[in-house]
A = this chain, B = another copy of it.
Amino acid sequence: MTELPATKSIVLPHPLRTWCGDTLEGVQQVYETWGQPRGNGDNTLVIFTGLSPSAHAASSAADPEEGWWEAMIGPGRPIDTDHWHVICFNSLGSCFGSTGPGSVNPATGQPWRLDFPELRVEDIAAAAHAALMEMGLERVHGVIGPSMGGMTALAFLLRYPGVARHFLSISSALRALPFAIAIRSLQREAIRSDPAWQGGNYHPEQPPVTGMRLARKLGMISYRSAGEWVERFGRRMMAEPDPGFGPRFEIESYLEAQADRFVGGFDPNCYIYLSRAMDLFDVDEHAGEGQDALGVLDYLGSAAVVGVDSDILFPAQQQRALAEGLERVGIPVSYSELASIQGHDAFLVDHDRFGPVIADYLEKIRGA
């Protein structure tokens, strides 16, 4: 459990009834904010995150450390905090302050670990919604979600009609497809089959490092694109290649470095819970047989769907399916399929392509 300097926190006053019917008492919902609120949520944008980030999306006076979406959020940036009041929630189930499998179960005084109830993206949305109510924000202007955050945003919009007026989906999807489920299943298996995992009961100081490294490396393979790696690494060898079966190619040392940065920073049980929550998300669960789940979203004033043509985890056809689904129920949709070679992660790194698209959409909905 990592507490960050700019983190704000709300303990939800009511028990959270989960999507699968369990009850969570005393849920802590952590978030950060930027910019000044005006009116009654009139200039508020809510950001839901992908699987691994914290609520620290950008630096602030309270925490000058660079955030995970630093280039996008701030005065004069695409999500311009001179105008917008921005709230980024740390997902329920994560390990950066919000209640999750690493938190203490109030009923036992022990960490939840695998006794944490089944987590769904709908629960992440519910905890955030309850926190907004506590903040007195019964309405917000828009919700923004990249990757898993887009699924959370969809769950939020479907469960709480009318709370938000606009929706910006980035490299997300209406549901998980089997290729993405397979990748995540292997990541979980790598962690769960590491003897150090101990059935989820590892000591916090002795996490399943080997499994987490494998999971992160496989993640990077799915987050980036083959084309990017040809350009960045080609077949270049490391300065000191391993003479045995360790890393020899630069692509291998890149993956090593990515694993080094990740391990220790993310709780393995939280990872497994959030990963499975993504697999299980499907908008169709929000409608009866034969009904269009997106129908309830017709209250939205607009939506933007942004994706990347080299994304193999949330591929372009899923972006088109989301945009078409929203248009089908009468929502004006701005659709952008960006020609970035940086794959699923492009929204984190390809600022030149993402910045203008996000700025344009937010300009369009400003005051709308």
- Copies of this chain in its oligomeric complex: 2
Q: Is A201 positioned at the interface, with any CB of B under 8 Å from its CB? A: no
| Given the contacts A245-B276, A272-B245, A315-B226, A181 and B217 also touching, CB distance less than 8 Å | no
A244 at the interface (CB under 8 A from B): yes
> A217: which B residues are within 8 A, CB to CB?
182, 185-186, 189
Q: Is A233 an interface residue (CB 8 A)?
A: yes
A365 at the interface (CB under 8 A from B): no
Contact with B along A254-280 (1 / 0, CB 8 A): 010000000000000000100010010
Question: Which of chain B's residues have a CB closer than 8 A to the CB of A249?
Answer: 178, 181, 185, 279
| Partner pick for A312 among B189, B226, B234, CB 8 A cutoff | B226
Q: Which residues of B contact A244 (CB under 8 A)?
A: 114
Q: Which of B186, B188, B210, B232 contacts A221 (CB 8 A)?
A: B186
A298 on the interface (CB 8 Å rule)? no
Contact with A182, one of B175, B188, B195, B255 (Cβ below 8 angstroms): B255
Does A40 have its Cβ within 8 Å of any Cβ on chain B?
no
The answer to whether A179 touches B229 (Cβ under 8 A) is yes
Q: Mark A216-257, 1 if CB is under 8 A from B, else 0.
A: 011011000110011011110000000011011111100100
Which B residues are in CB contact (< 8 Å) with A312?
Answer: 226, 312
Are B252 and A182 in contact (CB-based, < 8 A)? yes
Is B193 touching A251 in the complex (CB atoms < 8 A)? no
Q: Is A192 an interface residue (CB 8 A)?
A: yes
| Interface flag for A183 (CB, 8 Å) | yes
Q: Please name the residue on chain B nearest to A232 by beta carbon.
A: B178
State whether the Cβ of A322 lies closer than 8 Å to any Cβ in chain B.
Answer: no
- Are B210's CB and A193's CB within 8 A? yes
CB distance from A192 to the nearest CB of B (A): 6
Q: A190-B190, A192-B245, A276-B245 are in contact. Are A255 and B185 (CB under 8 A)?
A: yes
Q: Residue-by-residue, is A276-308 near B (CB-CB < 8 Å gives 1, otherwise 0)?
A: 100100100000000000000000000000000
- Given B192, B226, B247, B250, which contacts A179 in the complex, CB threshold below 8 Å? B226
A214 at the interface (CB under 8 A from B): yes
Q: Are B282 and A188 in contact (CB under 8 A)?
A: no
Contacts of A186 in B (CB 8 A): 214, 217-218, 221, 255
Chain A residues within 8 Å of B, Cβ to Cβ? 114, 175-179, 181-183, 185-186, 188-190, 192-193, 195, 210, 213-214, 217-218, 220-221, 225-226, 229-230, 232-235, 244-245, 247-252, 255, 272, 276, 279, 282, 312, 315
Known A-B contacts: A177-B235, A182-B229, A189-B214. Give 14 more (CB < 8 A). A114-B244, A175-B235, A178-B250, A179-B221, A179-B225, A181-B251, A182-B220, A182-B252, A186-B217, A192-B245, A193-B214, A214-B214, A218-B218, A245-B272
9 contacts between A and B (CB under 8 A): A178-B233, A179-B225, A182-B252, A186-B214, A186-B221, A189-B213, A192-B245, A193-B210, A193-B214
